[in-house]
Structure formats: structure tokens, C-alpha cells
Structure 1
């Protein structure tokens, strides 16, 4: 009991680990297989030995029958015994067994042990032999052990005149078989021990990658996303390591973006709040009663409040889109009219930068969408185009259909997006130019929100862009959305 209580947690873990379970299962299969093979081999060898012995005994029995068959039919019983018994004794010594010869009535004419001479002998094998059947059987006697009985008929001129029964001990066969079984047991035990040792070594080597995974995952749980698993084997563990490293790189990137987002949002929230506070304090300390000055200050405060409200709305929109059971209220929507409303709403924003905002729609398109949400996605992309287009530039919005898609194209001649950033612009918190984004008031959420809304509509957004030439966004919404 003390020894059991003294086993460490690590030692206990070894006996419940996957490694130990695999080795135990493998050894159980090996032991079961070897047991079946050993039993099969043992039975096969026993059968071969016994069949060989049976064959030899039957040959001897037939020889004895041939030698004594002419003496069995003598008229005098005593005369028959005088001739038959010496022959039985002679062959008995040669085969180291007992020979009993009977006539057709079952009366013993010869017995190498002289025990049943003159008596009637009705043994099973004798009865079968007197019927013309050669028979053998094995008996296990408590006193003598395993004994083989073989009986053959004695035939003269196609007439059965008697039978010969030969009984020999086959204990030597079982003794040899016992030695063979011992050797098989020794070989099997040695094989099992070697297999166990090799299995432990091999599995210990094979499970090293799992220890690396465990170490890396534990580090991740503590917030360390710099861990990588290096595995050089060309197997599933290598594939797992590559997938794990890609995942941890993505998590590290998301963590960095989250930190940047928190910093950016903090900055963005602090800026309008600071401005509102500064403007309010200026008004409080204002001695003049000029209403125009107060009006100008209040307009600035209102603008900063709108800016703060926009940031909060984007954050709330992102939270709403993350809900698993977000309800999409599909309606048949006239997309031409929806885009006209959006363009008219954003024209004042474009005119402030002297940007020409135009809409082109040559065909009338009606599809099932959630008007409010899809409007938010389109506005984010057009606003983004206006924001990153220089003054006196142009932003073109075009509506058309292509196959199963309703396509809304937003094209600008602005600063463009680097090719290396095209795959990341829809990631949350990602901003191509952080300095420029702060200047323009972006939070890095607009495109992510648009992408999620379009995906909720079973659509996609594609982007083409060149630095210095501009960007083209293609919002593709299926015109046969399956509800």
C-alpha cells in the first residue's frame, strides 16, 4: 500500500497515456496472435506425430495378421495358441507394445502378455476389425498415460478369420510435444519482450511531436503566440505542425491587430472627447456674448459628437454581425433606387474634397436582400473610396448583372492598395496605412463589416488595385438567393 501511495503523478500518467494504451493494445494483439499460432502449431505437430505413429502401428498390425492368419483357423484351440502366441510375443518386443490376436468368434489365440489367452475379447477396435474395418483410437489411462490402439482384420481367401489388436504407448509423443511447447513459449515470451521494448522506444520517438504540441499549446494558453512546432518527419505530424504554425501565426497577427485596434480606438475615442471637452471649456470661459462664436463652437462640438457616434456605431455593427443567430430580413429590393439613395447621400461628402461621385446603371435589377444591411456594406465601401481618393478625383459606382450575380462596382482613381495587403484588407482591425488612417479617422472596421454583410447574403467581394492608379471593388450578390 505504501508503494502504491508513493507512485508519482507522472508515473501514474504513464499508465493512462495514449502511448501506454497503444503499447498495451499492440501487445495484447501480439500475445493473442502468438497464443493462437502456438496452439495451432502444437496441434498440427501432435496430429502429424500421431498420424505417423498410427501408420507405423497399422503396418505392424497387418504384418502380424499376415503371419498368423493361417494358424488362427487350426482345429485345435490349444494348437492355435501354441503357434500364434510366440509370433505375437516376438512382434510385441519389436514394437514395444502389446499384441492380442483373436479368431472370428473373438476368442484370444495370442496375447503377448498371456493375460487373456483362451478368453473372449470384445474390445471396440476388435469388433470393428471383425467387421472388416481397420480402426484406431487413442485412450488416456490414469495408470499408463496415452495409449494408441490399432486393430486390423485377418483375411484368408477374402474371408475374415480373426483380428489383430496392437496397443502401444505414445507418451513419448506428448513428452516431445511438451518440449516443443516449452520452446515455443520461450520464443514467444522473448518475442513479446522484444516487441514491447521496441514498441516503447518507437512510440516514445513517435510521440515526441505531441510533447512539442503540448508545450506550445500550454505556452499559447499563457498568451505566448511566438511558439512554433518544428517537425521534420514527412507524416501526419508534419502536416499538423504546418497547420498549427499557420494557426498560431494567424492568432499572433490577430492579437497584434487587436492590440493595435484597442490603441487606435482609444485614440479615436479620446480625440473627439478631448475636442468636445476643450471646446466646452472654451465656451465656459468665454466672456463675449457674440452668438456667432457660440454657434461656431457648438457646430464643432456637434461634428466631434458625430465622429464619436460613428466610431461607436461601427463597433456595435461589428458586435451584431458576430452574433451566431443574426436575422437577415430579406425583401425584394430595387437595387437601382437603393444605389441612387446611397450616392445622393454621399455626394456632399465627395463634394467637400471636390470628388466627382457618379452612378451608372443601364439595367433594372431587383433581388432579395436585407436593404438596411446591404446599404451599410455599400456605404462603407464608397466612403472608403472617397476617403482614399485625392481632391479633384473621381469615384464611379456601377450596377450590372453577370450570370447569377448582381454586381455593384465601386471604382476610384485614389492612392491604391499594395498587392501584399489585398488579402488582409477585410481582416478586422487591419489598416493598410495606420498613419493615414488616423488622419482620415478610420478604425479598420468598415471593410470587415461590409465583407461579413455580403457573406451573410451568400455573396463575395473582390478587389483589384494598383498603387497610384486606384482600386476597384466588386460586390457580388447572387440574384437567386436560397432562403
Structure 2
């Protein structure tokens, strides 16, 4: 049954069934309507024939003029033998006796069924019925007196076999079913062969997907046309590009982590070897080297702590402790902790807010994010500079802006500063003791709060970081 898993065979079966089943459903309805049409047409024909014979008998006055009975009888037989007439004519008098029969079989017998009785009693002027036990149709028409139209002298019963209608309908039914089967099979074959236009690019796409699964991320599909398959190819190429970016980012991240961890470890190793392989090292050098080693250990600890923070923030479902918080109080508490750092560089910390702002936030996480921004502003602002923190809000959002008069950021680097371990100046960053992860943590934290962060900067003039946070978290 492996063939069943083929797209082409599935399409063949699908199109065959989709076309064949409606044929099978509507064919009986069509044949039923055709049968009704032919039966009704036959009824009209035989009723018209019975009326014609009744009028001729009335005009000849055969039922009242007994002298012409012999001629009348032969006349009825002659009508039954006329070319194209395929029926039997029976004439019944008012008492129900058969007085003439084109088949000369039942003359003298009585016939008194409901249709004849109704015709003799003027209850039905003319009617046609089909016997249920056999494929026979009978048309019954009264014979009226030539001089008195209200007097019924007898009836004409024209009987004909209609099995030829059912035979024709049977042949037509078989032809319709065969045509339906053939048409459905033809549609299935056409879908089978034309499906290659669909399956071929899909198979090619599957090969590329398999290659990407095996780690070959540099795959690209050649796009032709503008149909749905082309859109799928474009989506695949976009996915491949995104995977390449993710892989490149992962490799760069691993490389940066390795480099960041290796630097303090190398320093520790050099310092410890200097102490181990030197004789008569003075106590002062031990103290100095141990202070340097302690500083490098702190650097390692900061890097690992920031990495663990990023790992927690990258989880699919990060627990958020959302509470309504006074943003003014939170910001002032951050500034209070950072005043000693600003005083070391004689930097002014300015706080501006015109009203109390209450927001739904995870205070611990957002405190870390805002602290990173303000601390960076202090670190990268020269002595005697200024750092300004401004709070604003409207009915929907709150904004925290951190402005500094620092060294600024180049235009081509502003879109990359939130990447992990990205540095505009690696030497400067290490001197300030940063890990290169602070802005990444800030960015991820703001996104978790359904907010955004923007940067405006000019080299030599300073930077403005603006954090937008919804006042209410939904």
C-alpha cells in the first residue's frame, strides 16, 4: 500500500470520487425525471388516440345504429392493425359488455373496473392509468350520443404495452452510468498526470527540508511564478534565512561566551602562575595579585549571573509577578542606589516627573532593566556630565526616558546594541566592568511587558533610551 501514500495517487482517487459520487447521486434523479417525462408523454399520446377513436364512433353513430354493427366491428379491427398503432382497442357499451375488440379476444365479456365505471357515470371524462402488475397503460374515454352530448353510450379503452419505454430507459441508464464511470476515470487520470506539476516542486522542497534537517542551512529554493507553490517556496527561503541567522547568532553567542569567560580565567591563571613560580614573593604582591584575582572572579560571577538571567528570560513561559506599582517610587529608589556611582564621576542625576504614574509590572524584573539603562548612562558619560531620567504617561502607556551627555553611539551600530555581547568599543566596555549582556536583558524584559525600547544617539553628544510600557497588562 506504499502507492497510496503518493500524492498523485491520492489526487487520482480524490478526483475520481469527487466526480463519480455526484454522478451516481444525480443520475437516479435524472433518470427518474426522464421516466416521468416519457410516461406523461405516452399518456398524452394514448389519450389523444382514445379521444380520436371515441369521436369517430360518435360521428358514425355505431352504438345506436345496429345495422352497421358488422362494419363497426371490422372498423375497430382495422384501427388496431393500422401502421404505427401498437395497442388494443376495446369498446364497452353502457352495461359494461365488450361489443368490439380489435384483438377479437374478449368480445361478449364484461369489463367494469373503476375507470370504466367512472367514465360511464360521467365522473371522469377521460383518464389514463398504468396497471401495477404489468407494464400496461390504458386510456379510457367515454362515447357520447351524437344528438345528446349528456348521454354516455359506452367507453373506448385503448390499452398499450409500455415496456419499450422502460427498455429504452434501462439502456439509457446503463449508458449514463458507463459515461459517468468513464468521465470520472478520465478526470482521475488527468488529475494523476497534472498532479506532477504540484508534486514535483513539493518533492524538491522536501529534499531541501531534509537537507536543512541534516544541518545544511545554506539551502535556497529557486522561485518560479507567483502561485501558492511560489509563496511556499518564499516562506521556505525566509525560514532558511532565519535559521541561518539563528545559527550564526548561536555560534557567535557561544564564541562570545567562551571569549568572555576565557579572558578573566586567563588573567587568573597568569596571576596564580606568577605567584607559584616566583620565589620570595613579598606579601604586598600577594595582596595585590589576590585583589586582581578577586576582581576577575567577580567579573566571572557577573557574566554567569547575567547569562542565567538571560536563560530564564528566554524561557517560553516566564513567570511574571505583575502588580500595580508606583513607577515614580521605583525610579527614585533606583536613582538613590546609583547616586554613589554618579558622585565618583561628578555626574548630575536629574529626575523629572509631573505626576504620579501607576503601572502593572513585574517590579523586580523592570527594576533590573531600568537600572541597566541608568548605570550604562553613568558609565559612558564623561566626568562632570549629566544623566536625566524623565517619566511621562498618557491614558494607555508610560514612558521612561534616560538621557545622557555621554560618548554616544554610531548610527550603524544602534540597531545592534541589544544583541548579546555586542560592544561598540570592547576595550572601553571592559574598563567599565560590563559583561555586554545588560542591554540584552533590558530589551528582553521590556518585551515581556508588551513594551518597546528605542534609542536616539549621536557620537560625542550623548544618547536617549526610551522605554514604553502599557499601563495595564492584559
Q: TM-score, structure 2 length as denominator?
A: 0.85
How much has 1:141 moved relative to structure 2? 6.0
CA contact (8 A) 1:454 1:461 kept: yes
Deviations 1:214-247 (A, max 9, x none): 2233222222222233443433443343333223
Q: Measured at CA, do residues 261 and 345 of structure 1 come closer, stay the same or move farther in structure 2, by a change above 3 Å?
A: farther
Aligned counterparts of 2:239 and 2:421: Cα–Cα separation in 1: 17
Task: Give 1:342-421 correspondences, 5 Å limit.
Answer: 342-344=337-339, 346-347=341-342, 351=345, 356=347, 358-363=349-354, 365-368=356-359, 369-385=361-377, 389=380, 391=382, 394=385, 396-403=387-394, 404-412=396-404, 413-419=406-412
The structure, 1 or 2, with the larger RCO (C-alpha pairs under 8 Å, 6+ apart) is: 2
CA contact (8 A) 1:107 1:119 kept: yes
Q: Measured at CA, do residues 103 and 425 of structure 1 come closer, stay the same or move farther in structure 2, by a change above 3 Å?
A: farther
Residue in structure 2 matching 1:103, options 85, 93, 104 = 93
Q: Measured at CA, do residues 191 and 331 of structure 1 come closer, stay the same or move farther in structure 2, by a change above 3 Å?
A: closer
What secondary structure does 1:258 align onto? helix
Aligned counterparts of 1:336 and 1:90: Cα–Cα separation in 2: 121
CA contact (8 A) 1:264 1:443 kept: no
Are residues 1:90 and 2:84 paired?
Answer: no
How much has 1:308 moved relative to structure 2? 0.5
Matched residue, 1:184: 176
Aligned counterparts of 2:374 and 2:169: Cα–Cα separation in 1: 92
Q: Measured at CA, do residues 64 and 372 of structure 1 come closer, stay the same or move farther in structure 2, by a change above 3 Å?
A: closer
Are residues 1:128 and 2:118 paired?
Answer: yes
CA contact (8 A) 1:98 1:112 kept: yes
Matched residue, 2:16: 27
Aligned counterparts of 1:214 and 1:467: Cα–Cα separation in 2: 49
What secondary structure does 1:72 align onto? coil
Q: Measured at CA, do residues 181 and 12 of structure 1 come closer, stay the same or move farther in structure 2, by a change above 3 Å?
A: closer
Q: Measured at CA, do residues 62 and 308 of structure 1 come closer, stay the same or move farther in structure 2, by a change above 3 Å?
A: same
How much has 1:165 moved relative to structure 2? 0.7
How much has 1:342 moved relative to structure 2? 4.4
Matched residue, 1:340: 335
Aligned counterparts of 1:199 and 1:436: Cα–Cα separation in 2: 67
Task: Give 1:81-480 correspondences, 5 Å limit.
Answer: 82-94=70-82, 95-132=85-122, 133=124, 134-139=126-131, 146-156=135-145, 157=148, 158-288=150-280, 290-323=282-315, 324-328=317-321, 330=323, 332-333=325-326, 334-344=329-339, 346-347=341-342, 351=345, 356=347, 358-363=349-354, 365-368=356-359, 369-385=361-377, 389=380, 391=382, 394=385, 396-403=387-394, 404-412=396-404, 413-419=406-412, 422-427=414-419, 429=420, 431=422, 433=424, 444-466=436-458, 469-478=461-470, 480=471
Are residues 1:13 and 2:5 paired?
Answer: yes
CA contact (8 A) 2:16 2:185 kept: no
How much has 1:109 moved relative to structure 2? 0.8
Aligned counterparts of 1:172 and 1:331: Cα–Cα separation in 2: 90
Q: TM-score, structure 1 length as denominator?
A: 0.84
Deviations 1:364-401 (A, max 9, x none): 645344443222112323344456x4755846232221
- In structure 1, the gaps of 5 or more residues are 1-6
- In structure 2, the gaps of 5 or more residues are none
Aligned counterparts of 2:416 and 2:17: Cα–Cα separation in 1: 53
How much has 1:111 moved relative to structure 2? 0.7
What secondary structure does 2:81 align onto? helix
Q: Measured at CA, do residues 405 and 183 of structure 1 come closer, stay the same or move farther in structure 2, by a change above 3 Å?
A: closer
What secondary structure does 2:96 align onto? coil
Aligned counterparts of 1:374 and 1:205: Cα–Cα separation in 2: 54
What secondary structure does 2:226 align onto? coil
How much has 1:13 moved relative to structure 2? 2.0
Aligned counterparts of 2:128 and 2:400: Cα–Cα separation in 1: 97
CA contact (8 A) 1:361 1:399 kept: yes
Matched residue, 1:41: 30
CA contact (8 A) 1:23 1:199 kept: yes
Q: Measured at CA, do residues 151 and 362 of structure 1 come closer, stay the same or move farther in structure 2, by a change above 3 Å?
A: closer
Residue in structure 1 matching 2:47, options 58, 73, 96 = 58
Aligned counterparts of 1:295 and 1:85: Cα–Cα separation in 2: 149
How much has 1:22 moved relative to structure 2? 4.7
Matched positions, count: 458
